[in-house]
Chains A and B, each alone.
Chain A
Amino acid sequence: MSQAHSLDLFSDQLSEGPAVDGGAAQMHRTPSPPYLQVFDLVKKYGTFSALDGVSLAIAAGEFISFLGPSGCGKTTLLRAIAGLDFQTSGSLYQDGADISWLPPDQRDFGIVFQSYALFPNLTVAENIAYGLENQGTKKHQIAERVAGLLNNVGLPGAEKRFPGQLSGGQQQRVALARALAPSPNLLLLDEPLSALDARVRVHLRREIKALQHRLGITTIMVTHDQEEAMTMADRIVVMNQGRIEQIGTPREIYENPVSVFVAQFVGTINLLPFTPCGPDTVEVAGLKFRCPHSGRHKGTGGVLAIRPEDIECTDVHDHDANCIDVRVESSEFLGATMRLKLVQGPDLALIADVPIRALRGSDIRPGQAMRVRLDAERIRLFDEAGNC
C-alpha cells in the first residue's frame, strides 16, 4: 500500500489514492467497499464502559468526525483505531485486513494530537523527516519531501526553526506535515484545533479540509466542537456514553436528529414536554400543536423539539393551528438574526431566531406581545427516553 504513494503525491494528487473525489455524496450513491470497519468495539475500565459496542464503516477518502461531549468515548475510539489503547473486545478492519490486535507500529496511519506532540529538541525539518529517516529514504529525497510538505501546509522555508519558535497554528501545521510525511492511508486528528484561538481555528479548519480533499486521504477527526465537525466532516459520528447516537452528514444530523441528545448537542433547540392528543396533534402546556411529519413516535408523551429558526413571526391574520401569542421576555442581537426569548404563561418558554429582515421597522422591547408560528413540518417528537 505504501508503494502506491510516491513521493510526489502532493504535486499530482489526482492520480493517487482511492475515491479521490471523496466526500459522502459519492459514497452514498455507489457504496464502495469500506476502507475502515469497526465491529462491536467494547472498551472497559473496570466496570465503566468507555466504549459500549461501537460499530461503524468508513469509506476510503471520507472525512469523518467523532463528535460528542468529553467522556463520550470518542478519543477512546480513535486510540483503539490507532492501536494506542487496545479494546476489550470487538474487531477492526483496515483495507480488508484484521488489525484488531496489532500494535500501532504495525498499522497504517498518521496522527496529530491536540498537543501536537512535536519533538521540541528537533527542528521543523527533523520533525517532519522523523518517520522518513527510518525507511532508508535518501537524504536529498527527504529534504525535497520536507520542503514539499511544508509548502503544502503553508509554511515554506521553516525547516531550520524549532517548534518553540512557531505559533500554535504553525506548530499544528508542522504536526500535520509530520503525520503525512510517510504517506499514510489514514489520518487521525485528535482535537487538532482545540488549543488554538478562535480566528486561527476557523482559518486552519478550511485549510485542513482543503488539504484532505486534495490528498483524498481517509481522515478521522475527534472533536467536541459541533461547529468544527459540521464545517469539516463529510459525515459526523455523534457519540454519547460510549455509544454511537447517530451517523450522518452534517445536514442529516442537524435536521433529523435521532435523539434529544443529538438535537441538543448539535445546534440550539427548544425542548418542550408534551402529551399526545389525537392524530398528529400534541398538547404542550395546555396548547395544541399539529405535527404531521414529526416522526413515528406518538406514544404516551415525551419531548417536542423545534429549532429556534423554525419559529416564525407572524400576525393576527395567521390562523394556522400552530400559531401562539407570546410575550417577549428578552432579546439578543446576533447580527443576521435576533434571538428572542418568548414566554406564554408560566409554563411555556421558547427561543426563536428571527431574521433581522423580518423585524425591520419594528422595535422589539421586553414585554411586547407577538404572534409566532411553530412550523409544523419542522417539529420533531421524541419519546420519554429521548429517542425517536
Chain B
Amino acid sequence: MDTLYKRPLRAPFRAGPVTSGDQLLLRGLALLSALLLVVTILFPLYSMLAKSFHDASGLFIGLENFQRYFSEASLYRAVSNSFVIAGMATLISLLLAFLYGYGLTRTCMPFKPLFRVVSLIPLLAPSLLPAISLVYFFGNQGVAKELLMGHSIYGPIGIVLGLVIWVFPSALMILMTSLSMTDARLYEAASVLKAGPIRTFFTVTLPGVKYGLISAAFVVFTLTLTDFGVAKVIGGQYNVLATDLFKQVIGQQNFQMGAVVGLMLLLPAILAFFVDRYARRKQVAITGARAVPYSPKPHALRDRFFLLYCSLIGCLLIAMLGMAAYASFVTFWPYDQTLSLKNYQFDMMDGGGWAAFYNSLQMALLTAVFGTLFIFLTAYVSERCHGWRPVLNLIGGLTLLPMAVPGMVLGLAYIFFFNAPDNPLNGFYGGMTIMVISTIVHYYTVSHLTAVTAIKQMDPEIEAVGASLKVPQYRTFCRVSLPLCLPAVLDISTYLFSTAMTTISAVIFLYSPDTFLASIAMLHMEGAGDIAPSAAMAMVIVLTSTSVRLLHWLLTRRLSARLQRWKGA
C-alpha cells in the first residue's frame, strides 16, 4: 500500500461546500416557488379556518358558528343531503364506468378509440351542461318527461343523474388505468388452474382493480360532494352543501357561516384525498414492473354485449351534448321551434355577454401559459435541487394539497385572504390575476404530478453530465430537459386551458363585472331563467375546448414522430 502524501499546504482552507451558480439559481427558484405556494395555498386556507372561529366583527367566538350551524335544521340537513347524493352518484358512476372501462380494455369489441373519445364529452363543458340537458329531456317541457313517471327532475334525481354524467370520464380514466395494469400472467395461471370466468372475475379481475376502484370511488365522491353547477341548475328545492355555501356567502354575505360550510366540504375531501393516495400506492405495489400487459382474445358473446353497452352509454353522452346543442338554436323553447341564433346574442342577457367568453379565453390562455411555466419549473426545481430538504418538503406538501381542496373552498379562502383590507395583495381582488392564480392552484396537483413523472423519466444524470462539461444548468435545461419533457408540457397546458374554460367552482367567488367568464355567464343566464342562452354559451365553450384538444392532438402527433426518431427505429 502506498504511503499517503502530506496535505499540500498551498491549498486554501474551506469550511464547507461551495454552492455552484446552478444550485444557487435552483435554490432561489425553490424559495420563490415555496413562497408563492405558501401565499396562494396555505395563507388563504388559514384565513378561512380562522374566519370560522370569528364573528362578523372579527371577535373570536370559538365554536359558536359551528354550534349555530348544527342547531339550524335547514343548514345541517344539507350535510346529509350532500352525502346521500354524492354516495349514490359515486355508486352509479362507478358501476357504469367500470363496465365501460372493462369493454375498452378487456374485450375485442370494435370502435374502441371512438368510444374513448366519446367518453370525454362531459369534460368539454362546465358541469351545468349535463344538468341543462336533463332539463330539456326531463323538465316540465322535456321530450322524455314520461320516463320519470311523474317524478320531478328538479331535485335529487336530477342532481344524481347530472353528476353521474359529469364525473363519468373521471371515474373511467382511473378505472381504465387500473384495468389495463393487471398482469396477464395471472389470467394464464387462472385458466391453467381451470377457473371458470366467474371465479376468475372474482379472484383475479376484482382484486386487481380493487385499489383502482377505491381510488376512483373517493375521487368521484369528492367531485360529486363539492360540485356546484349540477345542483344549482337542477337541484330545485333540494339543499346541498355546495349550493348552501353559495347562498351563505353570495346571497347573504354571511362569510363566517360560509367558512363553516367550507370546512364541512373540506374535511371529507381531505379524508378522501388520503384514502386515494393510499390506494394509488397500493395499486402500484401490486402491479410489479415486470407485469405482462393483458391482451384480450376475441369472444363473440362478450364482445357483442360490451359493444351494445358502450354504444348505449356513448349514445346517451352524445344525446346529452346534442340536446343542448339543438336547444341552443331553438328560438323559443318549446313554443317556437324554428332554429335561429337568437340565443347566441349574449350581450342581451345577464352574465356579461360575449365579453365573458373573451375573458374566459384570456383567462384560459394566461392560466395555461403561466401555470405551465410555474408548475413545470417548480417540479423541475423540486426534483433537481440538492439538499435544502425543508424547503423542498414544503413544496412537495403544498403541491399535493390543492387536490384535497374543493374549488369552492379555495375560492372562498381567496376571498377571505385577498379581500382583507390589510392585505397588501388585495389589489388583485376582483381582477383577472386572482382568477388565473386560483385556477392554477385549483388544478395544480394533477399538472404537477404529470410534470414530475416526465422529469423522473429523464436520465437523472443529464444535469450532472452538463455540469461536468461546464455547461450552466439553465442551458442544459433549455437544450435537453425541456425538449424531452415537451409532451408533458403540452399535456399540462392543454389540461389547464380546458379546465380554465370550464371551471366554475373557485372563480364563482372571484369574478368581477370586468372579468365575467363564459362559465359564470352560463350560471347567470340559467339563474335568470335564460336556459337556452346558457346552453348556447355551453356550446361555445365545448367548441373551444374541442378545438384546443384537437390542436393538442395534432401537436402531440407531430411531436411523437420526433420522439420516435430520438428513440430510434
Contact = CB atoms under 8 A, between A and B. Distances in A.
Interface in B89-146: none
Interface string B11-33: 11111111111110000000000
A178 B459 contact: no
B23 A98 contact: no
Given A105-B22, A113-B461, A31 B2 contact: yes
A130 B11 CA distance: 31
A109 B10 CA distance: 21
A138 to B, nearest CB: 18
B53 to A, nearest CB: 40
Interface residues of A, number: 52
A110 B468 contact: yes
B17 A130 contact: no
Contact of B4 (A57, A121, A181): A57
B185 interface: no
A356 B501 CA distance: 80
A109 B468 CA distance: 6
A130 B471 contact: yes
B558 interface: no
A348 interface: no
B20 A105 contact: yes
B480 A111 contact: no
Nearest to A113: B461
A117 B470 CA distance: 16
Contact of A162 (B386, B483, B484, B566): B566
A117 B461 contact: yes
Contacts of A328: none
B105 to A, nearest CB: 29
Contacts of B480: 119, 121-122
A247 interface: yes
Nearest to B475: A134
B20 A164 contact: no
Main secondary structure of the interface of B (DSSP, over half): loop
A84 interface: yes
Contacts of A31: 2
B149 interface: no
A166 B565 CA distance: 11
A30 interface: no
Given A121-B566, A166-B568, A105 B467 contact: yes
A134 B11 CA distance: 28
B103 to A, nearest CB: 35
Nearest to B19: A103
B299 interface: no
Contacts of A109: 468
A116 B469 CA distance: 14
A308 interface: no
Nearest to B11: A98
Given A115-B461, A134-B475, A101 B17 contact: yes
A117 B464 contact: yes
Nearest to A258: B1
A71 to B, nearest CB: 18
A165 B569 contact: yes
B5 interface: yes
Which size bracket describes the interface of B in this complex? Answer: 35 or more
Residue of B8, B12, B13, B484 ringed by the most chain A CB atoms within 10 A? B8
A98 B13 contact: yes
Nearest to B22: A105
A179 interface: yes
A235 to B, nearest CB: 9
Interface in B308-365: none
A98 B14 contact: yes
Contacts of B8: 93, 96, 98
A164 B566 contact: yes
Contacts of B297: none
A291 to B, nearest CB: 23
Residue of B7, B461, B465 ringed by the most chain A CB atoms within 10 A? B465
Nearest to A179: B468
B194 interface: no
A61 interface: no
Contact of B465 (A39, A101, A113, A134): A113
Contacts of B13: 98
A39 B462 CA distance: 29
B5 A34 contact: yes
Given A103-B19, A103-B20, A131 B459 contact: no
A53 B17 CA distance: 18
A86 to B, nearest CB: 5
Nearest to A37: B5
Give me the 9 closest cross-chain CB pairs, A-B, nearest first.
Answer: A131-B469, A103-B20, A164-B568, A98-B11, A117-B461, A104-B467, A164-B567, A165-B568, A113-B461
Given A120-B567, A121-B484, A134-B472, 19 more contacts: A37-B7, A84-B467, A101-B14, A101-B15, A101-B17, A103-B19, A103-B20, A103-B21, A105-B470, A115-B461, A117-B461, A117-B464, A121-B480, A122-B479, A131-B469, A134-B469, A162-B565, A178-B469, A182-B470
Interface of B: 1-2, 4-5, 7-8, 10-23, 386, 459, 461-462, 464-472, 475, 479-480, 483-484, 565-569
29 contacts: A39-B4, A57-B5, A93-B8, A93-B11, A96-B10, A101-B14, A103-B467, A104-B464, A104-B468, A105-B472, A106-B20, A113-B464, A115-B461, A119-B465, A120-B567, A130-B466, A130-B471, A131-B469, A131-B471, A134-B470, A134-B472, A135-B470, A162-B565, A164-B567, A164-B568, A166-B568, A181-B469, A184-B468, A247-B2
